[in-house]
Chains A and B, each alone.
Chain A
Amino acid sequence: MGRQLKFNIFRYNPEDPKSVPHMESFDLEETEAMTLYIALNRLREEQDPSLQFDFMCRAGICGSCAMMINGRPDLACHTKTKNLPDEINLMPLPVFKLIGDLSVDSGTWFRAMNEKVQSWVHTDKPFDPNAEEEPMDNQLAEEIYELERCVECGCCVAACGKANMREDFMGAAAFNRIARFMMDPRDERTGTEYFEVVGNEEGIFGCLGLLGCEDVCPKEIPLQDQLGMLRRKMGWQSIRHLFSRLLPD
C-alpha cells in the first residue's frame, strides 16, 4: 500500500461571481512512479471533475503544466510524488493571468514577450526557397539549440522577484530569447538595435540577479550565463557610446 498523500489545491474560478479563492484538500493513495500530472488526473477523474489544470504532452516538452509545487514553480508532469512530502500544496503560477484553479494564461504573456523582443531572425536578404540552406558550424548550432530548448512554461517568470513586483519586467525567458538571436549569424541586427530592445530598466538593467530563474528552470537552460552576458554587452556598449559622445573623433 502506498503513502496517503494530502493535496491542498488552490481553487477559484474568476468567471463565476460566486467563486471565492480558497484552498481545498484532497486525499490520494500514492502509486508507483506517480507524477503530479498523474495524481491531478486521478483527482479530476475520481474526486472532482471541475478541477482545472493544463497539460498536453506529459513529457516536459509543452510547458503547459507548470504550477507552484510547495512554493516552487515546476512542471507537474516531471515531478515525481516520491520526491515530495506527504502534504503537497499546489498553487497557480503568479504573474500570469489566472484562468481557473491551477490553470493560467501564459500564452498571452509569451506572445507579448516574443513581439516585444522581436523574436525572429532579422535579415534583409531575400529568401529563396529553392536555394540550398547555408551551413552553420556544428558547435554554434548546438549552442543556439541549447537556448532554443525553452518550452515557455513560465517557471522562470514565476520565480523572478522583479517580475513579481513589476509587470513590465521582461524576465529571463525574454533575455534567453534575445541571447539566442544574438548568437545567430543569420540575424543582422546591430548592437544598437538589440540595445533598444533590452538595454533598459524593463530589460536587462532591471534584473536584480536573484537567480530564481536559473534555480527553477525545469529544462536547466543556462539562464544565469545569458543574463550576465547581456548586461555586460549592453553595459559596455553604453560606456563606449558615452565616450564617443564625450570624445568625438
Chain B
Amino acid sequence: MFTQNVAQAKQPYRTDAYLDTFQMFSGVALILFMWSHMVLVASVNLGSRVMNSIAHFLEATYLAQIGGPMIALIFLAHFVMAARKIPFNYKEQKAMWTHSVRLNHLDTWLWIVQAVTGMIILIMGSIHMWTVLTDLPITAAKSAARIQGGWWLVFYMMLLPVIELHVGVGFYRLGVKWGWITRSNRKSLKNFENRLTIGFITIGLITLFTFYFIIKAA
C-alpha cells in the first residue's frame, strides 16, 4: 500500500527571488564587461600597438579563450532571465503600449527601449561574438579590415548606440530596483548615467573613425 509522509516545515517558494537576483548579478557582470570592453577597444586610439599588446595579454593568459565563451554564456542567461519580464502575448503587449502612450512617462518609455534593444542585442551581439571568437587572435589590423569592408561599419554604427542605451538604462534601473538609487539621489545619478552613456557612445564613434580611417587593415 502506498503511503506518503508530508511532515515538512513549510518553506516559501523562492524561485522568483533566485531568478531575479541572478538577473541582477548577470546584468552587473555584463555592464562591467561592456565598460571594460569599450576601454580595451578604444585603446586603439592610442595606436595599434597598444591594442595589440592588450589583446595579446588577454590571449596569452587565456582570458579571451575562457572569458569570451563565459561572457557569451552569461549574455544568453541574462537574456533568458530578463525575457521573463517582457510580455510575449498580445494582450499584455497592448496593455503596456497603451499605458506607455497614455502616461507618457520617461522611465516607462525607457523600459520599452530596454526591451527592444535587448532583442536587437541578442541577435547582433551574437553575430559579433561569433565573428570575433572564431577568428582569434584579435589584432587592430584584422578589426580595421573588417570595419573598412563597409557593411561591418554600418553594423557597428547600429550596435554601438543600441548597446550603450541598454547598458545605461539597465545600470540606472538596477540601481532603482535594488534600492541603491533613492529618491534623494535619483536625479543626479540619472544625469550622471546620461552623461556616461553619451560619453561611451562618443568614445565608440571615435574608435570606429580610427578603425575606418587611420588603422592599416590586414
Please give the residue numbers on chain A whose beta carbons come within 8 Å of chain B beta carbons, in ascending order. Answer: 68, 71-72, 91, 94, 159, 161, 164-166, 192, 195-196, 199-201, 205-212, 214-215, 222, 224-225, 227-229, 231-232, 234-235, 237-239, 241-242
Q: Determine the chain B residues whose CB is within 8 A of the CB of A237 once the complex forms.
A: 17
Binds A, one of B54-62, B181-189, B200-208: B181-189
Q: Determine the chain A residues whose CB is within 8 A of the CB of B176 once the complex forms.
A: 209, 211, 224, 227-228
* B14:A238 contact, CB within 8 angstroms: yes
Q: Find the A residue at minimum CB distance from B93.
A: A165
Is B173 an interface residue, CB under 8 A from the partner? Answer: yes
Known pairs A208-B85, A239-B21; A71 contacts B12 (CB<8 A): no
Is B24 an interface residue, CB under 8 A from the partner? Answer: yes
Which residue in B12, B99, B111 is a CB contact (below 8 Å) of A164? B99
Q: Determine the chain A residues whose CB is within 8 A of the CB of B12 once the complex forms.
A: 192, 195-196, 199-200
Within 8 A of A (CB), among B152-201: 173, 176-183, 186
Q: Find the B residue at minimum CB distance from A160.
A: B99
* B14:A210 contact, CB within 8 angstroms: no
* A207:B177 contact, CB within 8 angstroms: yes
* A205:B107 contact, CB within 8 angstroms: no
* B21:A165 contact, CB within 8 angstroms: no
* B103:A165 contact, CB within 8 angstroms: no
In angstroms, Cα B173 to Cα A91, docked, is: 30
Q: Find the B residue at minimum CB distance from A241.
A: B14
Please give the distance in Å from B186's CB to the nearest CB on chain A: 7
Is B2 an interface residue, CB under 8 A from the partner? Answer: no
* B95:A199 contact, CB within 8 angstroms: no
In angstroms, Cα B112 to Cα A212, docked, is: 14
In angstroms, Cα B181 to Cα A208, docked, is: 14
Q: Find the A residue at minimum CB distance from B14.
A: A238
* B178:A165 contact, CB within 8 angstroms: no
Within 8 A of A (CB), among B75-112: 84-85, 87, 92, 95-96, 98-100, 102-105, 107-108, 111
Q: Determine the chain B residues whose CB is within 8 A of the CB of A192 once the complex forms.
A: 11-12
Q: Find the A residue at minimum CB distance from B18.
A: A238
Q: Determine the chain A residues whose CB is within 8 A of the CB of B177 once the complex forms.
A: 207-209, 227-228, 231
In angstroms, Cα B39 to Cα A211, docked, is: 32
Q: Determine the chain B residues whose CB is within 8 A of the CB of A215 once the complex forms.
A: 105, 107
Known pairs A164-B95, A192-B12, A238-B14; A210 contacts B102 (CB<8 A): no
Which residue in A199, A228, A229 is a CB contact (below 8 Å) of B14? A199
* A210:B180 contact, CB within 8 angstroms: no
* B182:A224 contact, CB within 8 angstroms: yes
In angstroms, Cα B183 to Cα A214, docked, is: 9
B interface, over-half SS: helix
Within 8 A of A (CB), among B3-28: 11-14, 16-21, 24
* 29 A-B contacts (beta carbon < 8 Å): A71-B104, A91-B102, A164-B95, A164-B98, A165-B87, A165-B92, A165-B95, A165-B96, A166-B92, A196-B12, A199-B14, A200-B13, A205-B20, A208-B85, A208-B177, A209-B107, A209-B173, A209-B176, A209-B177, A210-B105, A210-B111, A215-B107, A224-B182, A232-B179, A234-B17, A238-B14, A238-B21, A239-B21, A242-B14
* A228:B181 contact, CB within 8 angstroms: yes
Known pairs A72-B103, A159-B103; A164 contacts B96 (CB<8 A): yes
Q: Determine the chain B residues whose CB is within 8 A of the CB of A241 once the complex forms.
A: 14
10 closest A-B pairs by CB: A228-B179, A238-B17, A209-B177, A196-B12, A205-B20, A164-B99, A209-B176, A201-B16, A165-B92, A205-B16
Which residue in A207, A212, A234 is a CB contact (below 8 Å) of B103? A212
In angstroms, Cα B178 to Cα A24, docked, is: 44
In angstroms, Cα B179 to Cα A8, docked, is: 39
Q: Find the B residue at minimum CB distance from A224.
A: B183
* B17:A205 contact, CB within 8 angstroms: yes
Known pairs A159-B105, A212-B103; A231 contacts B179 (CB<8 A): yes
Q: Determine the chain A residues whose CB is within 8 A of the CB of B99 once the complex forms.
A: 94, 161, 164-165
In angstroms, Cα B179 to Cα A209, docked, is: 10
Given known contacts A94-B99, A201-B16, A208-B173, what 20 new A-B pairs fall within 8 Å (CB)? A161-B111, A164-B95, A164-B98, A165-B96, A166-B92, A192-B12, A199-B14, A199-B17, A205-B19, A209-B173, A212-B103, A215-B105, A225-B182, A228-B179, A231-B177, A234-B17, A235-B17, A235-B20, A238-B18, A242-B18
